[in-house]
């Protein structure tokens, strides 16, 4: 009998439906804009009355770490309200929608009218009790800079409270490709690539048109490898023996984490928090204002919790502001923009939805000196549908070329990000293709820097594939002769390694091995380089260049480090180096 039941269950699984005597479990799947076809598979259990009893996500191709809040929240919300009209989780909208669609698919396959579960959800939430907490250090923001600062402050003996307005940690860091610039002057890799911390400094300062504050840029580049060793000691893993050039990075000094995108940092930090007392994280808690005492010292933060309760967090030693930039705020980027013709809603962004400049507004209220606010970085690498950096076939600069809708190269692919973006704005429809081949993707399951296989990108329509260059040109809808000429010219320079007519000097293998791949890209807002002026201890300065006691800052909310243009791969370097400095300074009460 047990064997018979086992066979029956297996057959039912193949059919997509599990049958039980008392209840039923239905299987459904859906496509996600992140994970692609069949990204989410769920099992929906109905009770005897036909109500949804349980929902289990049994397969999730969306990026782990990023999609977790939706996986944890959406199934429970559907069960609680018996409704498919639950709100998406902020910051993981695509996964939220995919889970709902998968549940709907399961119901539909069984012949159940899903409209019976389309009931309005009562969104009134009873206000919780106000909360008061006192610790040594309060950190605003649980992105890369904030989590780095929090862990470092705790290592230095402080009790720490982290406030994060989103339902998950990560900020923009968790959406990044995870690349981190750092040079160990003593390593064979530095010798092999003719690199050094000093050369990193020189390229960074020049790449930002010398607007970066030299002392801060020097700290970032000289302490970068120390920061890598620090996070590795905490358990973070990087691919050893290999560095590469990030788009706009100018040199092959980027280190790639083993865990995809930016999730490795947060797996590491969350593991530290979970295994130590005296460090706490509060999600869905939006910092509203800095509390300043009668002597002008920042002594705490007033925030609003998930149900509207007031959270008052007092800091015995200091507050670290690490709330990120404002790339997702059309209002602020338009207000501060001095570089681009427009940064209105027609220009998408790579940023997570919480990057709205809340911290900037809080800093303004306490008189912080905000510098270089007009320095806003765009990339030529946005997904045409959502502005994301994901979905592209670029793994490293040395393995790609960019062509416009006419199939013609138009820019140095190894150049500065601002120069590449300006060149793209001059192309038809502000549109380009990244082109590569089997040297970059020797098999279809090889992934890009965002945990996506090239086969998956092609299947989802985010990239095209050609067994011949002519077939690729046809799918790109560009003139074959133009594309052929562009690659022949590029390939010739791969052999000689000399500078081409666009100024390119970074070359890898020629693009001549089938199959060929291409993905479309458009300009997208990526990083806001302006923010609070800080000193070498990450203390925030006021407009008179005096320290605001008790206030520190790190990450994208600071200004004066990257100047007019940020080198690719320097953002994570910045947040690691100055996140550590801010955490240590706050813990010491400096």
Write the pLDDT tens digit of every residue in 495-513: 999 999 999 999 999 999 9
Question: By the 8 A CB rule, do 71 and 95 touch?
Answer: yes
Rounded-to-integer distance, Cα 334 and Cα 147, Å: 29
Tell me, what's the pLDDT at 31? 64
Tell me, what's the pLDDT at 35? 59
Residues with Cβ within 8 Å of residue 91, at least 6 apart in sequence = 69, 166, 167, 168, 170, 352, 353, 354
Give backbone dihedrals phi and psi of 69, rounded to 5 degrees, phi first: -60, -35
Mean pLDDT of the chain, nearest integer:
92
Q: Looking at 413-463, which runs of residues are DSSP E strands? A: 432-436
With left for phi above 0 and alpha for psi between -120 and 50, is residue 584 left, alpha or beta?
A: alpha
User: Which two tokens mark 205?
Assistant: 């300062």
pLDDT digits (tens, 9 = 90+) for 100-124: 989 998 898 888 888 889 888 877 7
pLDDT digits (tens, 9 = 90+) for 559-568: 999 999 999 9
pLDDT of 558 higher than 60: yes
Helix (H, G, I), strand (E, B) or coil at 51: coil
pLDDT of 37 higher than 70: no
pLDDT of 406 higher than 70: yes
Helix (H, G, I), strand (E, B) or coil at 395: coil
Q: Go through the domains of the chain in sequence order and give each one's CATH number.
A: 7-117 (3.90.1010), 131-375+529-588 (3.50.50.60), 379-524 (3.90.700.10)
Average pLDDT for 380-388: 93
- Fill in the DSSP letter of residue 173: G
Question: By the 8 A CB rule, do 24 and 43 touch?
Answer: no
**Residue from 319, 314, 483, 333 nearest 408 by CA:** 483
Q: What is the DSSP string of 226-284?
A: HHHHHHHHTT--B-TT--BPPTT--SS-EE-BSSSTTHHHHHHHHHHHHT-SSEEEE-S
Pairing between β-strand 279-282 and β-strand 160-163 as defined by DSSP bridges:
parallel
Rounded-to-integer distance, Cα 353 and Cα 330, Å: 11
pLDDT of 11 higher than 60: no
Helix (H, G, I), strand (E, B) or coil at 101: helix
Q: How many residues does the chain have?
A: 590
Rounded-to-integer distance, Cα 349 and Cα 528, Å: 11
Rounded-to-integer distance, Cα 548 and Cα 580, Å: 19
pLDDT of 361 higher than 50: yes
**Residue from 77, 65, 73, 63 nearest 32 by CA:** 63
pTM above 0.85, yes or no: yes
User: Which two tokens mark 107?
Assistant: 């119901």
Please report which confidence band the pLDDT of residue 93 belongs to, taking 50, 70 and 90 as the band edges: confident
CB atoms within 10 A of CB 157: 10
Tell me, what's the pLDDT at 350? 94
Give backbone dihedrals phi and psi of 176, rounded to 5 degrees, phi first: -75, 170
pLDDT of 188 higher than 50: yes
Q: List the single range of 35-39, 160-164, 318-322, 416-420 with lowest mean pLDDT.
A: 35-39
Please report which confidence band the pLDDT of residue 19 belongs to, taking 50, 70 and 90 as the band edges: very low
Name the helix (H) or strand (E) containing 588.
helix 570-588
Please report which confidence band the pLDDT of residue 39 belongs to, taking 50, 70 and 90 as the band edges: confident
Tell me, what's the pLDDT at 32? 65
Rounded-to-integer distance, Cα 314 and Cα 303, Å: 11
Rounded (10°) angle between helices 93-109 and 68-81: 50
Q: Supply the residues annotated as catalytic.
A: 417
Residue 194, classified by CB atoms within 10 Å of its CB into exposed (0-12), middle (13-18) or buried (19+), is: exposed
Tell me, what's the pLDDT at 62? 76
Residue with tokens 């800052």: 553
- Fill in the DSSP letter of residue 138: E
Expressed in angstroms, the distance from the first to the final Cα of the chain is 73
pLDDT digits (tens, 9 = 90+) for 245-267: 999 999 999 999 999 888 999 99
Evaluate the omega torsion of the peptide bond into residue 35 and state whether it is cis, within 30 degrees of 0: no
Residues with Cβ within 8 Å of residue 142, at least 6 apart in sequence = 150, 162, 163, 164, 166, 169, 170, 171, 281, 283
Question: By the 8 A CB rule, do 562 and 570 touch?
Answer: yes
Rounded-to-integer distance, Cα 270 and Cα 286, Å: 20
Rounded-to-integer distance, Cα 528 and Cα 327, Å: 6
Question: By the 8 A CB rule, do 497 and 507 touch?
Answer: yes
Rounded-to-integer distance, Cα 43 and Cα 371, Å: 52
pLDDT of 28 higher than 90: no
Residues with Cβ within 8 Å of residue 373, at least 6 apart in sequence = 336, 528, 530, 531, 559
Task: Please name every residue paired with 42 in a beta bridge, in sequence order, or none if there are none.
Answer: 28, 57
Give 143's Cβ-side CA count (13 Å radius): 33
Helix (H, G, I), strand (E, B) or coil at 156: coil
Helix (H, G, I), strand (E, B) or coil at 118: coil
Task: Please name every residue paired with 379 in a beta bridge, in sequence order, or none if there are none.
Answer: 524
Question: By the 8 A CB rule, do 287 and 108 touch?
Answer: no
Task: Please name every residue paired with 140 in a beta bridge, in sequence order, or none if there are none.
Answer: 163, 321
Measure Cα distances from 201 to 59, 189, 223, 358, 396 in Å: 45, 17, 11, 31, 22
Tell me, what's the pLDDT at 20? 31
């Amino acid at each position: 009998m047990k064997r018979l039941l086992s066979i029956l269950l297996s057959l039912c699984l193949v059919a997509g439906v599990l049958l039980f005597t008392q209840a039923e479990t239905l299987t459904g799947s859906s496509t996600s804009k992140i994970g692609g076809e069949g990204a989410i598979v769920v099992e929906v259990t109905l009770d005897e009355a036909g109500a949804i009893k349980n929902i289990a996500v049994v397969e999730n191709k969306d990026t782990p770490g990023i999609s977790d809040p939706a996986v944890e929240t959406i199934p429970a919300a559907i069960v609680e309200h018996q409704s498919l009209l639950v709100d998406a989780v902020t910051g993981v909208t695509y996964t939220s929608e995919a889970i709902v669609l998968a549940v709907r698919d399961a119901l539909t396959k069984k012949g159940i009218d899903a409209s019976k579960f389309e009931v309005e959800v009562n969104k009134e939430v009873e206000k919780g009790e106000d909360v008061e907490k006192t610790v040594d250090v309060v950190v605003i923001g649980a992105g890369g800079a904030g989590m780095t600062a929090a862990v470092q402050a705790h290592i230095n003996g402080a009790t720490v409270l982290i406030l994060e307005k989103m339902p998950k940690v990560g900020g923009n860091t968790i959406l990044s490709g995870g690349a981190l610039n750092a040079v160990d002057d003593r390593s064979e890799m530095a010798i092999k690539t003719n690199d050094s911390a000093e050369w990193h400094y020189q390229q960074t300062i020049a790449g930002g048109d010398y607007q970066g504050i030299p002392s801060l840029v020097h700290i970032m580049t000289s302490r970068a490898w120390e920061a890598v060793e620090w996070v590795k000691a905490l358990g973070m893993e990087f691919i050893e023996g290999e560095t590469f050039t990030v788009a706009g990075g100018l040199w092959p000094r980027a280190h790639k984490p083993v865990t995809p995108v930016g999730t490795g940092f947060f797996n590491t930090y969350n593991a530290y928090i979970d295994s130590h007392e005296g460090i706490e994280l509060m999600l869905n808690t939006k910092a509203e204002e800095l509390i300043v005492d009668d002597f002008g010292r920042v002594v705490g933060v007033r925030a609003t919790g998930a149900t509207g309760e007031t959270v008052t967090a007092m800091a015995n030693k200091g507050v670290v502001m690490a709330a990120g930039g404002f790339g997702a705020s059309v209002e602020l980027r338009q207000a501060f923009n001095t570089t681009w013709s427009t940064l209105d809603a027609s220009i998408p962004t790579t940023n997570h939805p919480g990057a709205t400049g809340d911290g900037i507004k809080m800093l303004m209220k306490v008189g912080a000196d905000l510098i270089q606010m007009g320095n806003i970085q765009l990339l030529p690498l946005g997904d045409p549908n959502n502005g994301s950096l994901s979905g592209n076939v670029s793994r490293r600069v040395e393995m790609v070329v960019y062509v416009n809708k006419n199939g013609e190269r138009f820019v140095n692919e190894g150049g500065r990000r601002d120069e590449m973006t300006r060149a793209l704005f001059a192309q038809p429809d502000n549109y380009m293709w990244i082109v590569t081949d089997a040297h970059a993707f020797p098999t279809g399951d090889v992934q890009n820097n965002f945990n996506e296989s090239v086969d998956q990108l092609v299947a989802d329509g985010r990239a095209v594939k050609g067994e011949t260059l002519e077939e690729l040109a046809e799918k790109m809808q560009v003139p074959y002769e133009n594309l052929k000429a562009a690659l022949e010219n590029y390939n010739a320079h791969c052999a000689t390694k000399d500078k081409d007519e666009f100024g390119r000097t970074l070359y890898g293998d020629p693009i001549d091995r089938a199959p060929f791949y291409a993905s479309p890209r458009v300009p997208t807002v990526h990083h806001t380089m302006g923010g609070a002026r800080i000193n070498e201890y990450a203390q925030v300065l006021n407009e008179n260049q005096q320290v605001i006691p008790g206030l520190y800052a790190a990450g994208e909310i600071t200004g004066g480090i990257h100047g007019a243009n940020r080198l690719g791969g320097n953002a994570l370097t910045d947040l690691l180096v100055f996140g550590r400095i801010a955490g240590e300074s706050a813990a010491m009460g400096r």
